[in-house]
Amino acid sequence: MKKLPTVLTEDEQARLLGQPNPRYPTGERNGTMLRLMLNTGLRLAEVTSFKWHDVDLTTGKLMVRQGRRARIAPCGWPRVTSTA
């Protein structure tokens, strides 16, 4: 039988999200990756393998590829709409 994953408390999530330094581009990148992982349940390998064409901002969905398998996952933020 598989062991259930450990879930972080809200306080633990807040402390984790407070670690990246937003003053630097790498801090913004790391914070975005952490939020994506916390909101969607994606693994690190799945998040780091994203390509631009895997993200659909109009539908708010991600194409998650792991090896030869692929699945669609909601990204947890509202859809982006055109202002033009």
Provide the residue ranges of all domains of the chain, joining segments of one domain with +.
Answer: 10-74
71 vs 19, 33, 42, 68, CA distance in Å? 30, 18, 11, 10
Q: Are 39 and 47 in contact (CB under 8 A)?
A: no
pLDDT of residue 57: 80
Q: pLDDT tens across 11-33, in order?
A: 999 999 999 998 999 999 899 88
Q: Comparing C-alpha atoms, which of 48, 42, 30, 43 is closest to residue 75?
A: 42
Residue 84 has pLDDT above 60, yes or no: no
Instruction: Determine if the pTM surpasses 0.75.
Output: no
